[in-house]
A and B are shown apart, each in its own frame.
Chain A
Amino acid sequence: NAGVTQTPKFQVLKTGQSMTLQCAQDMNHNSMYWYRQDPGMGLRLIYYSASEGTTDKGEVPNGYNVSRLNKREFSLRLESAAPSQTSVYFCASRIRFGELFFGEGSRLTVL
């Protein structure tokens, strides 16, 4: 049982480049989330998907887009990366309400 799997684990981009972070869970969870973690600022919600077929903005959605491809997969896309998007990104999932299960994180650096 892999839990929540994120790829890639590390990525370096130049300003203006685009990329997609992939996330998949094998726990049959309904809800999936993307958070970013910056030093001293905790975990901030970027986008979430309460159930398959729905997505909604979180606290810091600007510069990002998401796709809930199916129940298992939830991807995060940066269309034109900026240095302010340098961060560690965590995907998480849960059944509906309760414990969040996190992926290992993706460390993104934008030069």
Chain B
Amino acid sequence: GENVEQHPSTLSVQEGDSAVIKCTYSDSASNYFPWYKQELGKRPQLIIDIRSNVGEKKDQRIAVTLNKTAKHFSLHITETQPEDSAVYFCAASANTNAGKSTFGDGTTLTVKP
């Protein structure tokens, strides 16, 4: 089955700096790569996603890049703010497998004011 590895497990940055979280996946059939943000005690919520026919996608301060050849994708957050502090999860799924999503173990991002 699919295996998703996520790094780093914790990340601390100063407000205004950029943050980068990286994930690798193993199943070449995976073609959908979402990122979820989970605030303390809350449910995970989608912040951005990318499909395999696209190399990069941007939404304001958040961007995701995908390298299908190397089987890795990354989340980039620019101009970080304290409210960006949360746990971020990457995931991978293939539409040929009932859309089952395999998640990375998460990255705890702390943005220091």
Contacts and interface: CB of A to CB of B under 8 A. Distances in A.
Interface of A: 31, 33, 35, 40-45, 48, 50, 56, 58-59, 90, 94, 96-100, 102-105
A48 B49 CA distance: 21
Contacts of B32: 97-98
Contact of B43 (A31, A40, A103): A103
Interface string B46-75: 100100000000000000000000000000
Given A44-B103, A50-B98, 5 more contacts: A33-B100, A96-B99, A97-B99, A100-B91, A105-B43
Contacts of A41: 105
A45 B45 contact: no
Interface residues of B, number: 25
Contacts of B106: 40, 42
A104 B1 CA distance: 28
Contacts of A48: 98, 100
Contacts of A102: 43-45
Scoring B32, B43, B89, B104 by chain A CB atoms within 10 A of each residue's CB, the highest score goes to B43
23 contacts: A31-B99, A33-B101, A35-B103, A40-B9, A40-B106, A42-B89, A42-B103, A43-B44, A43-B103, A45-B100, A45-B102, A48-B100, A50-B98, A58-B100, A90-B43, A97-B32, A98-B49, A98-B99, A99-B46, A99-B49, A100-B34, A100-B44, A102-B43
